Amino acid sequence: MSSSDCRPDYPLSSDLATRLKSALDAKDEERVSDLLCTEVRHVDAVIELANDDWMKDPAAQLPPAVLLGLWTLEYKRELTTPLGIAAARGHTDCLHHLLSRGADPDASPGGRGPLHEACLGGHTACAQLLLQHGAHPDLLSAEGLAPLHLCRTAASLGCAQALLKHGASVHRTGGTDRDTPLHVAAQCGLDEHASLYLGHGARVDARNGRGETALSTACGVARRPDEYARCLRLCALLLQHGAAADARDEDERSPLHKACGHAPPGLARLLLRHGANPAALDYGGASPLGRVLQTAACSPHAAPQHTLRELLNHGSPTVWPDAFLKVLKTCAPAPAVIEVLFNSYPQLRVSESWKEVIPEEVFQMHRPFYQSLFAVAHGPRCLQHLCRCAIRKWFGKKCFHLVPLLPLPKSLQNYLLLEPEGVLH
């Protein structure tokens, strides 16, 4: 029987459901526990906490989306049990009371069992208690997710450890994307979870339904600064365990393609040092360098100029000269990106027509750089730059390794490695 057909013991309109919902909304944990332990008639009762099935109630006030015609045949209905509520709220004493009275640890009228709820909330003591009373460690929810798939926060590490101790599988795929627990850890930047799963035999290069490995997944979510440090540790861990730095997903995107979108430069550097191919093309014909240029203007926090340097210093092909005008148009608000790319050519013909694609406010904001760019149109590049290009051509894709070995001041080494200066010479 589906949840839509289930007749709850305590429907939404019942007195107990009303009082329980009020206590939950008020975060009155003592009252919640008291209601579950003293007023529910039997331990596996089905309680309805939400139901917006307006189609079955002509008197119901319709939501705005329905009035606008954006209606759907699906609706939200929340069915649960006392055990499910107690596990979700972390009420260990209440949970123990219900289990001692014979509550079913796997009851899931709403699609998720109590163990799922405990893991989602990161309540280790509740998860351990449920497992000790026979909860199935690999029970699937209505969405096809095992409890390990719901260990999505740092607080859930203890839950994951308890699940594995009781026989949960690190290889089980779940959900529409067929993710493994390692994929979930990668999505959430949970390096300790990933280490735990790898220690229990998780396959580091297992693929999900989109053809992604955990490394690919992690590189695709490293966007916000607060996520970055954890993501970098996680990716380093996966690479240490043999993750393929060039594994392609269903769109032929490598982890490096994803790291060159919005992530800070350290991630691209890590992948390149582990052999990622800077010249790889996805199905759309985009290279990692192309990904940097596509997102440079909208990701200034990611320091795209430094990611670009890493790629060029590891042998990435540059942009076809005739396409530089398109790059200028896309990346005009990020002049450091323009500078690094421009300096990767010995000589590039500058046209006065380029000024037309630079918005006036951008030109004025970065006036010294753009003035130096158009000054190059009237003569050749300086001898120092031409020497830089000759050395870089000789070193090729080993620039990142060989330049620091040269007996030169750090400033000159940085110059050879395309460190932006703010103006062109």
Residue 136 · residue 106 · CB < 8 Å:
yes
- Spatial distance between the Cα atoms of 113 and 117, rounded to a whole number of angstroms: 7
- The one-letter amino acid code at 416 reads L
Which tokens hold the place of 254?
């490598």
Q: Which pLDDT does position 4 carry in this prediction?
A: 52
238 in a structural domain: no
pLDDT at 260 over 80: yes
**For 14, phi and psi rounded to 5 degrees?**
-70, 160
Residue 36 · residue 99 · CB < 8 Å:
no
399 in a structural domain: yes
- Spatial distance between the Cα atoms of 93 and 78, rounded to a whole number of angstroms: 24
72 in a structural domain: no
pLDDT at 264 over 90: no
Q: Which pLDDT does position 63 carry in this prediction?
A: 53
- Spatial distance between the Cα atoms of 74 and 318, rounded to a whole number of angstroms: 50
Q: Which pLDDT does position 72 carry in this prediction?
A: 47
**For 50, phi and psi rounded to 5 degrees?**
-155, 150
Q: Which pLDDT does position 1 carry in this prediction?
A: 43
182 in a structural domain: no
Count of domains in the chain? 2
Q: Which pLDDT does position 67 carry in this prediction?
A: 45
For residue 330, count other CB atoms closer than 10 A to its CB.
17
417 in a structural domain: yes
216 in a structural domain: no
Mean per-residue pLDDT over the chain, rounded: 90
Give the domain range for residue 413: 266-295+304-425
Q: How confident is the model at residue 262 (pLDDT cuts 50, 70, 90)?
A: confident
Going by C-alpha positions, the residue among 38, 123, 125 that lies closest to residue 82 is 38
Residue 352 · residue 377 · CB < 8 Å:
yes
pLDDT at 71 over 50: no
Average pLDDT rounded to a whole number, residues 102-114: 92
- Tokens 């890493």, residue located: 310
Going by C-alpha positions, the residue among 257, 253, 259 that lies closest to residue 236 is 259
**Which residues touch 80 (CB under 8 Å, ≥6 apart)?**
46, 47, 49, 88, 109, 110
Residue 128 sits in a domain whose CATH number is 1.25.40
Going by C-alpha positions, the residue among 188, 267, 194 that lies closest to residue 221 is 188
Residue 82 · residue 102 · CB < 8 Å:
no
398 in a structural domain: yes
- Kindly write down the DSSP assignment for every residue of 59-97, as one continuous string: TSPPPHHHHTT---S---EEEE-HHHHHHHHT-HHHHHH
Q: Where are the beta strands (DSSP E) in 107-186?
A: none
Q: How confident is the model at residue 411 (pLDDT cuts 50, 70, 90)?
A: very high
Q: If 0-12 CB within 10 Å is exposed, 13-18 middle and 19+ buried, where does residue 392 land?
A: buried
- The one-letter amino acid code at 157 reads L
Q: Which pLDDT does position 55 carry in this prediction?
A: 46
280 in a structural domain: yes
Q: How confident is the model at residue 226 (pLDDT cuts 50, 70, 90)?
A: low
Secondary structure class of 376 (helix, strand, coil): helix
pLDDT at 297 over 90: no
Residue range 159-209, pLDDT digits in tens: 999 999 999 999 999 999 999 999 999 999 999 999 999 999 999 999 999
Do both 417 and 275 map to the same domain? yes
Q: Of 71-85, 128-142, 332-346, 387-401, which range is least confident?
A: 71-85
**Which residues touch 108 (CB under 8 Å, ≥6 apart)?**
84, 114, 116, 139, 141, 142
Residue range 373-410, pLDDT digits in tens: 999 887 889 999 999 999 999 999 999 999 999 999 99
- Tokens 């095992």, residue located: 146
- The one-letter amino acid code at 339 reads E
Residue 137 · residue 163 · CB < 8 Å:
yes
